[in-house]
Amino acid sequence: MRAPVDGFVYDLQVHTIGGIITSGATVMSVVPKSGDLIVEVHRDRESIRRGRLQLGRPTKTRLPSSCRH
């Protein structure tokens, strides 16, 4: 099995060697290594009013390693 991009595997659904995968099933998700990762974030209006966030501007974000979708 090959992914269409180089990246990091997460949310692996199959853990058995030789296991059967049904048609259309999600086996894993891949986060691409290259390019920007675009994230939709919901923040309170006060953070925007205080100038900590600006629409369309890049920002740094930390996610816990146990983050699940």
Is pTM beyond 0.85 here? Answer: no
Q: What is the mean pLDDT of residues 14-41?
A: 84
Predicted confidence (pLDDT) at residue 57 exceeds the cutoff of 60: yes
Burial of 57 (0-12, 13-18, 19+ CB in 10 A): exposed
- The helix or strand, by DSSP H or E, that contains position 49, with its residue range, turns out to be helix 45-49
**Encoding tokens for residue 19?**
């296991």
Q: pLDDT band at residue 3, thresholds of 50, 70 and 90? A: confident
